[in-house]
Amino acid sequence: MMTAMMIHFPLAIAYGLAGAWLAHRFDWAGALMIGAAFGLAIYPVNFYMIAPGVFPWFTMAQNWVRTAAAALHLAGLQTDVKVLDKFAQYYVFFYSGYAFAPLAFRLAGAASARPRTARAAAAARAPSSP
Pick the closest to residue 1 from 37, 27, 9, 81 (CA basis): 9
> From CA 130, how far away is CA 128, in angstroms rounded?
6
> From CA 31, how far away is CA 29, in angstroms rounded?
5
pLDDT at residue 31, rounded to an integer? 84
Contact residues for 6 (Cβ-Cβ < 8 A; gap 6+) = none
Given a contact cutoff of 8 angstroms between Cβ atoms, the answer to whether 92 and 73 are in contact is: yes
pLDDT at residue 4, rounded to an integer? 65
Please tell me the pTM assigned to this model. 0.47
pLDDT along the chain (130 residues), means of 10: 71 85 84 83 81 74 76 78 82 79 85 88 73
Burial of 69 (0-12, 13-18, 19+ CB in 10 A): buried
What residue segments make up the domains of the chain, in order of their start? 1-54, 58-130
